Amino acid sequence: MSGDKNLLAKFSTPVPRYTSYPTAPHFHPGIDADTVKGWIATLRAGQTLSLYLHIPYCDRLCWFCACHTKHTLKYEPITQYIQALHQEIETVGRLVPEGVRVTAVHWGGGSPTMLRPDDMRLVMGWLRSAFSFADDAEISVEMDPNDLDEPRYDALADIGVTRASLGVQDFEPKVQETINRVQTFAQTRSVVEAMRARGVASVNCDLLYGLPFQTEKTLRHTVDSILALRPDRIALFGYAHVPWMKKHQRLIPEDALPDSVARFEQMSLAGEMLVSAGYHAIGIDHFALEGDGLAEAVRHGRLRRNFQGYTDDAADALIGLGASSISELPQGYWQNMPATGEYQRMVENGELAVVRGIALSDEDRMRALVIERIMCGFGFSSCELTRRYGALAAPVLEEARAFAVKNPEVALYDRFGFRLKSDAYPFARSVAAIFDTYLGGGRGRHSAAV
């Protein structure tokens, strides 16, 4: 552990999560609706499309959350929002060329399961009317067990859910009360059982370490409890304390947060428990059973990283629908208006809700590939980089060589390329950051790397 602590001291500075490159703080208003229409028009028949559907409402506000969401106890704002979403679905659907097939839909939030059962069916029906779906399209939904009841379970089955994603965080009552996320193990188990009883093939659970009043003992209990449910996939995230960005996080007492060493020990403990229980370690924070899509993606070198984190989604493009959602096409990224009221006004006028984005240069694409390879496979091939980018790759390869020479305990560089040593795997975000030429640009603050 002493060696790990030495690395922790060296590589624990805040850096991006690298769910994109360049990262969102570097998006700008120079990317507008006309730009995006031109990008979408370049899609061709036979290509594939992934859709992200953002429902930015919760009936309780979890104080740890860093998502774009808002609290409401009334359903009227949600009714108005999904009508606007309908308009955006139709507008975007008309722009997508014929023959482009949707292979995945991810419902995120907020809490998508706040929607009434008939509204879930309506929204899915709108999507299937506006876009061409592959027969085996994956439909995943983020679920809050506190929202769910039998009619909603039936609606989720009706819309064809193939993956249920449950936020758990921690089962310790004191931790739950401090983060305003009270959720019993019995509630969580009932959702898993209900989804499996309705034929949902895959269940994944999200856990957090680094929470207030969390200890190795409480985390061990949470992991043991989750293992009893045997989810197909488990995400183990470090709590991102960003009160300058999410004001409600100021309600969390900072003196109750574990320090960097305690966070690292919590992460290590949980990871060791999951691997001992038969899960494959995926990247820096995911674990999957044999046969799960992520495990297969690692085996075949197809693991990817997008705004939902690690994924086996191989679609050619990702289009986000709803307020604040982010899209990715080969030409670049764009983001929708985050404010729900302004988003609704824009789409109800038949406009795209684009407010900012970034077009990718060849150097951006090359560095994005390097960063994704480090985040997904802990290294990259110099041959691949040179083959794809020619002379443009030379400065990056020199950066990799220089880093490995300076940090021999972390990385190795040879004729095959650049790769991290196994003890340095938890610090992949920090290593990826050395290839980020935007990071010193003064935009954005980030959470702890581990």
Concatenated DSSP letters of 131-188: SEEEEEEEEEEEE-GGG--HHHHHHHHHTT--EEEEEEE---HHHHHHHT----HHHH
Domain boundaries, the chain: 27-359, 362-441
Strand partners, 236: 207
- On whether the CB atoms of residues 243 and 250 are closer than 8 A, the answer is yes
Confidence at residue 449, expressed as pLDDT on a 0 to 100 scale: 54
Confidence at residue 353, expressed as pLDDT on a 0 to 100 scale: 98
Measure the CA–CA gap between 95 and 98, rounded to whole angstroms. Answer: 9
Length of the chain as a residue count: 450
- On whether the CB atoms of residues 190 and 179 are closer than 8 A, the answer is no
CATH architecture under which domain 362-441 falls:
Orthogonal Bundle (1.10)
Which stretches of 5-122 are assigned E, i.e. beta strand? 48-55, 57-58, 70-71, 101-109
Confidence at residue 444, expressed as pLDDT on a 0 to 100 scale: 46
Tally the C-alpha atoms within 13 A of residue 10's C-alpha that lie toward its C-beta.
15
Mean pLDDT by 10 residues, the chain (450 residues): 67 88 95 98 98 94 80 93 98 98 96 97 98 97 94 97 95 94 95 96 94 96 97 95 83 92 94 98 97 95 92 96 97 97 96 98 97 97 97 97 97 97 94 93 52
Which stretches of 151-219 are assigned E, i.e. beta strand? 163-169, 202-209
- On whether the CB atoms of residues 273 and 223 are closer than 8 A, the answer is yes
End-to-end CA distance of the chain: 15
Measure the CA–CA gap between 252 and 92, rounded to whole angstroms. Answer: 40
DSSP state string for 218-242? HHHHHHHHHHHH--SEEEEEEP---
Confidence at residue 448, expressed as pLDDT on a 0 to 100 scale: 56
- On whether the CB atoms of residues 133 and 50 are closer than 8 A, the answer is no
Confidence at residue 64, expressed as pLDDT on a 0 to 100 scale: 80
- On whether the CB atoms of residues 103 and 359 are closer than 8 A, the answer is no
Which helix (H) or strand (E) covers residue 288, if one does? strand 286-288
Which helix (H) or strand (E) covers residue 419, if one does? strand 417-420
Strands 354-359 and 317-321: unpaired
Determine the distance from the C-alpha atom of residue 73 to the mean position of all C-alpha atoms in its chain, rounded to a whole number: 26
Confidence at residue 57, expressed as pLDDT on a 0 to 100 scale: 94
> What pTM was estimated for this model as a whole?
0.92
Give, in words, the CATH class of 27-359. Answer: alpha beta
Measure the CA–CA gap between 345 and 242, rounded to whole angstroms. Answer: 30
- On whether the CB atoms of residues 440 and 420 are closer than 8 A, the answer is no
Confidence at residue 445, expressed as pLDDT on a 0 to 100 scale: 47
Task: Residue 46: name the closest of 316, 270, 244 by CA.
Answer: 316
Measure the CA–CA gap between 395 and 437, rounded to whole angstroms. Answer: 12
